[in-house]
Amino acid sequence: MPTLTPRLVLRTAGFLLLGLLVGAVGTVMHRSLRPWGVLVCLLLVLAAAVTARAASGWLASVGLLVGLFAGVQVLSGRGPGGDVLVPADGAIGWVWAIGSLVVALAVAVAPRRWFADDIPLRRRPSTP
């Protein structure tokens, strides 16, 4: 477990805010140009998740995941005028709501060596 420092807490809070932003933008834009809009929004989630994991580790990834979940869920509900940004009867809405969380979670549980500069991906054979 990483040592909890003020810097790590601030980074995690920053990635939580980034997750809220990505969730809000993706929820608004995922139906913009079918089916490419949802694909671009999922790539945005992937980029943010990889950035969080590479910059600050799994704790920042969890912060991003919490912010993403909150942003998508709040904006998926019925608005004050009765409008809905993610209708339940369309497949693209389900792909966005479930897919965004799956992408971020997959990055969060991926091996640490994929995101670290100091750990080689593969050991080179030693020469005698």
Three-state SS letters, the chain: CCCCCHHHHHHHHHHHHHHHHHHHHHHHHCCCCCCHHHHHHHHHHHHHHHHHHHHHCHHHHHHHHHHHHHHHHHHHCECCCCCECCCCCCHHHHHHHHHHHHHHHHHHCCCHHHCCCCCCCCCCCCCC
pLDDT per position as a tens digit, 73-95: 999 988 888 888 888 778 999 99
- Chain centroid to CA 61: how far? 7
Domain contains 123: no
Question: What's the pLDDT at 3?
Answer: 85
CA distance 39 to 59: 26
Token output for 105:
């979670």
Domain contains 104: yes
Domain contains 125: no
Domain with 66 in it: 14-114
Domain contains 89: yes
Report residue 107's pLDDT band, with 50, 70 and 90 as the boundaries: very high
Task: Indicate the number of domains in the chain.
Answer: 1
Domain contains 119: no
pLDDT per position as a tens digit, 44-79: 999 999 999 999 888 999 999 999 999 999 999 888
**CB-side exposure of 80: number of CA atoms within 13 Å?**
0
Domain contains 54: yes
Domain contains 126: no
